Structure 1
Amino acid sequence: MGRLSALFDPESVGVVGATDREGSVGRAILENLQETYDGEIVPVNPSREQVLGLECYSTVTAAPAIDLAVLVVPPDIVLEVLDDLGETDTRAVVVVTAGFAESGEEGATREQRLCERAERYGLEIVGPNSLGVMSTANGLNATFGPDSPREGSISFLSQSGAFVTAVLEWADEQRIGFHHVVSLGNKADLDETDFLREWGDDPGTDVIIGYLEGIDDGTAFLETAREVTEDTPIVLVKAGRTDAGAQAASSHTGAIAGSERAYETGLEQAGVIRAHSVQELFDFARALSGLPEPDTDGVAVVTNAGGPGVLATDAVGDSRLEMASLSAQTTDRLADVLPEEATRYNPVDVIGDANADRFGDALETVLEDDAVGAAIVVSAPTAVLGYDRLAETIIEKHEDYGKPIVACLMGGERARAAEQVLRGFGVPNFFDPTRAVAGLEALTRYREIRERTIDEPTTFDVDRERAQKVLSRAERYSDNRVGVESMELLEAYGIPTPASEVVSDPDRASEVARAIEGDVVMKIVSPDVSHKSDIGGVRVGVSDDEVASAYEDIVARVRTYQPDATILGVQIQELVEMEDSTETIVGMNRDPQFGPLVVFGLGGIFVETLEDTAVRVAPIGESEARDMIDEIQASPLLRGARGREPAHIDAITETIQRLSQLVVDFPSILELDVNPLVVAPEGVQAIDLSLTVDTDRLEGDEP
């Protein structure tokens, strides 16, 4: 274990607030420790001399050395105990006590003071409002839950203590074991990232699973999870999915990259496998903790039952896996070892009178085929088939071939007995073929996570000082939103823009238009007008001699529709040729947990109706930028579908990266839309811009 070893491998545990009062939390924790823990137990309570047969101490400073302190005292006493612990060698603390940030303003203040003491004394604190911690390595059950877990290789963290107790009881019935368990509580000090880091280096942990309602520091979580998943898979249930973040956002990008999309993107980039139910959570964990990774996505199904075999085949078709195409050599050999009535193609039906030996012959034959990366054994009970013998056969082939095998031995007590045998050798059994396929798919997903390449983001040569000056203009506006008058921001970061200028009178408009070759585009510049074209605030293809009158017409129309709008002028912009071009969007919304979320997709008027976008957490490297382009449904259009000349993919890739660098460099940018970003065979052009700036952060953006 690492820096949190005292939490899970303490030589002594002190229970502060220990009592023998029936029905009390202090008694429940002490009883749990006495039942299984093999270290020293130190009760602390100034009102007791002895608790449950153990000598009790008045204070932690009067007690023998305590590695792990579990606090079950009133909330207003917790801080006093932490002050006392600061005088001892104790460094690990679990605060079971509630009444902190979850209880209102007074509790939030108390929790802040708890955090200050954690830092002052170098304490590692779980909670407050925590169920406690467990470790089967040494029988530690420092919780007030009703059950101790079975021993296993799964380490489990949860933001909900109630979820822990429910899951442990269910897992015991399913004969699923754990290595470490922690109830995070309010996460005032230690959070999910700390435990990922700790368990990622723990040889006793094969899989990390968890239930989370939120992630406090998305950036730290993402960086840590990426490192951990190189060796240890992480599977999480993320609860509290909501579109509230999208509803609150004011830009196109904000609407696209709402709260749930942020978590979906962040977890994906972190290499976390996301489960959507408790059943999935443990189905994935069982497969990942006991089976090797498949070399290929090809799956062979061996079954004695046509219907369940078809269900398994359908489930494979609905997944990222595929039914393996068996070689002629394999099918010929299957013809030799199976009855004539059997099916020698995938799925392989050994028919209803098959015994375990016939299953074994068929399974061995398909596993020898290079196209088969994994196998599913699907069986219905029959009078001629002994499930105990079939389980032994599956284990034998599992060990001989080193390829993942999952079982789907359907039935009741007979199947449960066989399942117990299989689980002892790391082979999971599922009643439902669909769950068996999902377990294999989790293995494939983890293989892809381990194989993926994450390149370092390119650092472009940019003009940060120029960008800073542009952003500072937001202080002039009451809502801190700026638009096309700040196109210079993009130019400072090397993002191509058409020639343009914002003017404030018709004569200057004509002068600027004459300096631009060809017709121009004219747009109202106002922080109060979001959809300029809807109210006549945009004119396209205006000739030199029409510019002055067009200027007056645009301003008059906007005045008519929005009399209170602040008008800063009209932008005169070079007309971009749209033939063979596609309108896209590239933008950013700053998520409270994960930071800048960069969006790329189909833009223009279709951005919110078609919702064809890809999202990544910045900073973004070249490979991730290219993945974003490939991910959208319109990608074939950009790559030259149906005879179109392909767009300049390298230019799009670079633009995504440059915008990523911009929003990382300037935390003051809360939202940003470049819509449209016109992409063509020759390159890209940013046509329109809007952004929201947190002016309070501008000083921190200084180059």
Structure 2
Amino acid sequence: MPKMSEMTVQSAKNVAAPDAEDLSLSLDSLNTLEPAHDILRYGYQPLSPFFAPKSVAVIGATERPGSVGRTVLWNLISNSFGGTVFPVHPTRTHVLGIKAYSSITNISEPVDLAVIAIPAQKVPEVIEQCGAAGVKAVIILSAGFREIGAPGLALEAAVLQAARQNHIRVLGPNCLGLMCPNSGLNATFAGAMARPGNVGFISQSGALCTSILDWSLRENVGFSAFISIGSMLDINWGDLIYYLGDDPNTHSIVIYMEAIGDARSFLSAAREVALSKPIIVIKAGRTQVAAQAAASHTGALAGSDEALDAAFKRCGVLRVNTIDELFNLAEVLGKQPRPRGKRLTILTNAGGPGVLATDALIRSGGELAPLSPKTVETLDTILPPHWSRQNPIDILGDATPERYGAVLDVLAEDENSDGLLVILSPQAMTQPLATAEQLQTRASRWTNKPLLASWMGTETVRPGEDQLNQNRIFTLPFPDTAAQIFSLMARHNDNLRSLYETPSLTITTGSKTQSVQSVLSGARQDNRSLLSEWESKQLLQAYGIPTVQTELATSADAAVAIADQIGYPVVLKLHSHTITHKTDVGGVKLNLGDSSAVHRAYEEIATIGQPGDFLGVTVQPMVSRHGYELIIGSHVDEQFGPVLLFGSGGQLVEVYRDRALGLPPLNTTLARRLMEQTQVYQALQGVRGQARVDLDALEALLVRFSQLVVEYPEIKEIEINPLLVSAEQLLALDARVVLHSSAMIEQGLPKPAIRPYPGQYVKSWALRNGLDVTIRPIRPEDEPLMVDFHQTLSEESIYFRYFHLMKLQSRVAHERLTRICFIDYDREMALVAEHVDAQTNKRSILGVARLSRLHGLNAAEFGMLISDRHQGQGLGSEFLTSLLNICNAERIARISATILPENRGMQHLCKKNGFEIVRNFDEVEVYYDF
């Protein structure tokens, strides 16, 4: 295949493009990195050998009762798995009546999956043998790796090296294995096979897997996949989330997690999949004691639980506290739509259960839906006079199935409600089955709202409950649990919706990078990690964050002179490179009204600390504390890198503990959501005569602060406390910055868990007609521009791009454009060509090019779409060259696409740039290997 050096890729910018070059490409998936044309044509999912193997070898198979090797082999041959099973034993010729092999290399037929159940010390050698036999997937059940300390870590390193050299993917070690109940594959040493279903379950604890399995059999819960992930030596959460996201049999994903491992991989996968399939996580280690226990068990370090919460919110994952909630939500989200809001209507035939449900609803953050006057008026005509006349709607203990049905018809028309909970309490005249049938026949009228049911009781209500479950109406035995589940669904939907709200355009004033670099370089030259307050404020000012005027003085007379110039009263603060919390040591003197007070304060501060601690003072005007004191900060989490903090500030910040955490980078929408999680946010909107704070300006400040954090990873900690905010101003009164040590910088600085905006791919360019454009990665705030862009496209361009026609209304729907504009730059890179009209300053997008990584492969697919009026101007050629350069920079090994046969111009352009072309009957595949 053709190879292209970096120099050749760069020089491709000068290649002359054909007239038809700007016709569109398809983005149909080509899951392949293999050179063979048949693999390219038919696609390849790298984890398929784990979940759909045609042959399995059990290395360590034995007939010893109770052994792992015997149990795995028996599970494989006693279920409906239709593939071939090969026992591997060093001395036996047969195991459980099946021909055995002394080594996997002696098996003459291809082996898709090997399950290893031997002592840990022998595993590296066996991995080498698997490589020689052509095995691409291995499950290591063996324990004795990182959980035993340094010797185990060394063994893991040897296993990983052998696996990488032989292109083998590894699940485990120290795991239970995996099941695919729908196909009958049971490659575990569990005592039973899970039921088939639509829930993909992943657990880091093998012991919990067996407990969940027992529970699921009792509760009739089915699984599309049942996976024990173990120590995650190779395959991690992200790999499995991607696979289950693509699996049509999986409707929801539930996870038991002890450590997140590769945070960036998890967040990237979850952000993509959570939009289409709910991901529900129960994470062990909320308390410090439990976190230490989990770390000891898995050999992994536990990170901040609050940071984990922030990460889950940022990627659309729903976190729960109990196993019961975990599977209840997985089932209900698989059966019912997410609620549009948090207002629930409760229909009951008994007052007590309705009150219990209401209490649980309010405690968990939900609301009772108000009944509209029309609804109340209509219900008055069909219900007995003593009905409750409010929500919960108590239709009394003698309610017949027909009364339930009539009320359900009325409630279906009430727009005030976001969901319905129907409660049935078995009384002498109650008919559970007939009432369930009334609910079932009306379920189609609730397609846009979740419909929950609580048939209270046991055997007397069982027929009705079974009827509802068979018709995808989620039932729970207790109404308070049902109400709480609804609130969790509403919270999940609200979080997803807020993640993809279109932010306002973030106009970032160009940061003064030279002044920032000067401050950081000075600190490194002095071999210190603590910046002074004056230096810290220089960083803030460089990013447009307003600070109180701060001047340095190294003598009492100089301090007095500065105070005279600023005007009294003033504040003096200790200037030091070693003492960080000045207030704690008496290094802050407030409200100094004249020169003698300034002179006296200077002399007092000069006595603080040890020799070398005192370097002078800063002199600042005494600012009126009218408004609210906030804190904005960032610290580095062990697992997520930089984490942002926002909340109530001042001297009692640790006492009030009113704060929220978020992951950088932020846009204006994410900044607002961060603020909304705090108690002080209510005050910022104006209370008790206080004017409303300029929240838009505060949003922009948070965005700029997050940019400072991600653009300068040398910063270990940064804090503004207090940030004084009022209707008139935002002002940083104090700041503190701690840098990473020189040793840490040499080892490699922590990276943000979410990749920031890739500004290195922004460049200026001109079309052939001289029109200036900026080619840059897409941003979420580009959504309105993308709506305008789609109005410039012809049907032919749309057909060439998507292989079918698509109405404008569908193309510009918010739900679709979120997929286009809200991207994860680790997973995708979409470039836009933006033109700004010099006279009107109107911005417009002329074309879009997209590069999408293929799941589990070091390969990407690409596509482009260019406005009809700007085709034939060289933009397609420039886009393609830019994508090739990005692949080179990101170390992507293959780029590919599917093109319609009639799109000859694009085929010619790809050929001129070194692409290999494979022609099929109804489409053309193009690919390029670096």
Q: Distance in 2 between matches of 1:430 and 1:514?
A: 73
Counterpart amino acid of residue 481 in structure 1: L
3-state SS of the aligned residue for 1:372? Answer: coil
**CA 460–28 in structure 1, closer or farther in 2 if over 3 Å, else same:** farther
**CA 460–76 in structure 1, closer or farther in 2 if over 3 Å, else same:** farther
Residue 104 of structure 2: which of 60, 64, 85 is its match? 60
**CA 134–625 in structure 1, closer or farther in 2 if over 3 Å, else same:** same
Unaligned runs of 5+ in 2: 1-43, 293-301, 751-759, 761-930
Q: Distance in 2 between matches of 1:243 and 1:673?
A: 25
TM-score of the two chains, using structure 2 as the length reference: 0.70
- C-alpha deviation, 1:166, in angstroms: 0.2
**CA 203–442 in structure 1, closer or farther in 2 if over 3 Å, else same:** farther
Between the two proteins, the alignment pairs up a number of residues equal to 689
Q: Distance in 2 between matches of 1:568 and 1:197?
A: 56
The residue correspondences of 1:43-54 to structure 2 (distance < 5 A) are 43-54=87-98
Q: Which residue of 2 aligns with 1:552?
A: 603
1:499 and 2:544 aligned: no
Q: Which residue of 2 aligns with 1:366?
A: 411
Q: Which residue of 2 aligns with 1:481?
A: 530
Counterpart amino acid of residue 224 in structure 2: H
Residue 143 of structure 1: which of 174, 188, 208 is its match? 188
Q: Which residue of 2 aligns with 1:109?
A: 154
1:646 and 2:692 aligned: yes
- C-alpha contact (below 8 Å) 2:128/2:163 kept by paired residues: no
Q: Which residue of 1 aligns with 2:638?
A: 592
- C-alpha deviation, 1:460, in angstroms: 4.8
Counterpart amino acid of residue 732 in structure 2: A
**CA 283–87 in structure 1, closer or farther in 2 if over 3 Å, else same:** same
The one-character-per-residue Cα deviations of 1:77-97 (angstroms, maximum 9, x if unpaired) are 111111122223322211100
- C-alpha deviation, 1:336, in angstroms: 3.6
3-state SS of the aligned residue for 2:707? Answer: helix
Residue 354 of structure 1: which of 399, 406, 416 is its match? 399
The residue correspondences of 1:290-301 to structure 2 (distance < 5 A) are 290-301=335-346
Counterpart amino acid of residue 601 in structure 2: A
The one-character-per-residue Cα deviations of 1:578-610 (angstroms, maximum 9, x if unpaired) are 253332211111111111111112211121111
Q: Which residue of 1 aligns with 2:653?
A: 607
The residue correspondences of 1:248-397 to structure 2 (distance < 5 A) are 259-397=304-442
Q: Which residue of 2 aligns with 1:526?
A: 576
Q: Which residue of 1 aligns with 2:132?
A: 87
**193-202 or 395-404: bigger deviation:** 395-404
The one-character-per-residue Cα deviations of 1:547-568 (angstroms, maximum 9, x if unpaired) are 4443222112x1xxx4x36424
Unaligned runs of 5+ in 1: 248-256
Q: Distance in 2 between matches of 1:323 and 1:549?
A: 63
**366-375 or 73-82: bigger deviation:** 366-375
Q: Distance in 1 between matches of 2:430 and 2:165?
A: 66
Counterpart amino acid of residue 8 in structure 1: F
Counterpart amino acid of residue 510 in structure 2: D
1:405 and 2:446 aligned: no
Q: Distance in 2 between matches of 1:246 and 1:158?
A: 17
Counterpart amino acid of residue 47 in structure 1: T
Counterpart amino acid of residue 273 in structure 1: L
- C-alpha contact (below 8 Å) 1:598/1:616 kept by paired residues: yes
Q: Which residue of 1 aligns with 2:242?
A: 197
3-state SS of the aligned residue for 2:416? Answer: coil
- C-alpha contact (below 8 Å) 1:287/1:442 kept by paired residues: no
**159-168 or 443-452: bigger deviation:** 443-452
Counterpart amino acid of residue 683 in structure 1: Q
Q: Distance in 2 between matches of 1:680 and 1:245?
A: 42
Q: Which residue of 1 aligns with 2:17?
A: none
Residue 581 of structure 1: which of 627, 636, 640 is its match? 627
Q: Which residue of 2 aligns with 1:38?
A: 82
- C-alpha deviation, 1:210, in angstroms: 0.8
Q: Which residue of 2 aligns with 1:129?
A: 174
Higher relative contact order (CA 8 A, sep 6+): 2
3-state SS of the aligned residue for 1:569? Answer: coil
The residue correspondences of 1:534-545 to structure 2 (distance < 5 A) are 534-542=584-592, 543-544=594-595
Residue 25 of structure 1: which of 68, 87, 97 is its match? 68
Q: Which residue of 2 aligns with 1:571?
A: 617
**370-379 or 632-641: bigger deviation:** 632-641
- C-alpha deviation, 1:655, in angstroms: 2.2
- C-alpha contact (below 8 Å) 2:569/2:622 kept by paired residues: no
Q: Distance in 1 between matches of 2:289 and 2:721?
A: 23
3-state SS of the aligned residue for 2:56? Answer: strand
- C-alpha contact (below 8 Å) 1:150/1:172 kept by paired residues: yes
3-state SS of the aligned residue for 2:254? Answer: strand
Q: Distance in 2 between matches of 1:469 and 1:294?
A: 52
3-state SS of the aligned residue for 2:708? Answer: helix
- C-alpha contact (below 8 Å) 2:357/2:481 kept by paired residues: no
**132-141 or 402-411: bigger deviation:** 402-411
1:655 and 2:704 aligned: no
Q: Which residue of 2 aligns with 1:468?
A: 517
**CA 258–685 in structure 1, closer or farther in 2 if over 3 Å, else same:** farther
Q: Distance in 2 between matches of 1:364 and 1:463?
A: 64
Q: Distance in 1 between matches of 2:172 and 2:249?
A: 24
- C-alpha deviation, 1:454, in angstroms: 5.4
- C-alpha deviation, 1:683, in angstroms: 2.8
- C-alpha contact (below 8 Å) 1:290/1:425 kept by paired residues: no
3-state SS of the aligned residue for 1:541? Answer: strand
Q: Distance in 1 between matches of 2:706 and 2:571?
A: 28
Q: Distance in 2 between matches of 1:637 and 1:342?
A: 40
Residue 509 of structure 1: which of 559, 572, 576 is its match? 559
Q: Which residue of 2 aligns with 1:164?
A: 209
Q: Which residue of 2 aligns with 1:253?
A: none
**CA 314–22 in structure 1, closer or farther in 2 if over 3 Å, else same:** same
- C-alpha contact (below 8 Å) 2:530/2:737 kept by paired residues: yes
Q: Distance in 1 between matches of 2:611 and 2:473?
A: 68
* Matched-pair identity in %: 36
**CA 386–643 in structure 1, closer or farther in 2 if over 3 Å, else same:** closer
Q: Distance in 2 between matches of 1:598 and 1:516?
A: 34
Counterpart amino acid of residue 326 in structure 1: L
Residue 635 of structure 1: which of 666, 671, 681 is its match? 681
**CA 546–444 in structure 1, closer or farther in 2 if over 3 Å, else same:** closer
Q: Distance in 2 between matches of 1:30 and 1:258?
A: 38
Q: Distance in 2 between matches of 1:360 and 1:323?
A: 21
**CA 461–455 in structure 1, closer or farther in 2 if over 3 Å, else same:** farther
3-state SS of the aligned residue for 1:604? Answer: coil
Q: Distance in 2 between matches of 1:2 and 1:459?
A: 41
Q: Which residue of 2 aligns with 1:438?
A: 484
- C-alpha deviation, 1:518, in angstroms: 4.1
- C-alpha deviation, 1:150, in angstroms: 1.0
Structure 1 vs Structure 2 CA RMSD: 2.7
- C-alpha deviation, 1:459, in angstroms: 5.5
Q: Which residue of 1 aligns with 2:143?
A: 98
**CA 8–415 in structure 1, closer or farther in 2 if over 3 Å, else same:** farther
- C-alpha deviation, 1:499, in angstroms: 2.9
Q: Distance in 2 between matches of 1:653 and 1:571?
A: 32
Q: Distance in 2 between matches of 1:344 and 1:640?
A: 36
- C-alpha deviation, 1:394, in angstroms: 2.3
The one-character-per-residue Cα deviations of 1:124-165 (angstroms, maximum 9, x if unpaired) are 211100100111221111110112111111101111011111
**24-33 or 357-366: bigger deviation:** 357-366
TM-score of the two chains, using structure 1 as the length reference: 0.92
- C-alpha contact (below 8 Å) 1:598/1:660 kept by paired residues: yes
Q: Which residue of 2 aligns with 1:185?
A: 230
Q: Distance in 2 between matches of 1:337 and 1:644?
A: 49
Q: Distance in 2 between matches of 1:361 and 1:277?
A: 37
Q: Which residue of 2 aligns with 1:254?
A: none
Q: Distance in 1 between matches of 2:627 and 2:390?
A: 48
**CA 129–258 in structure 1, closer or farther in 2 if over 3 Å, else same:** closer
**522-531 or 603-612: bigger deviation:** 522-531
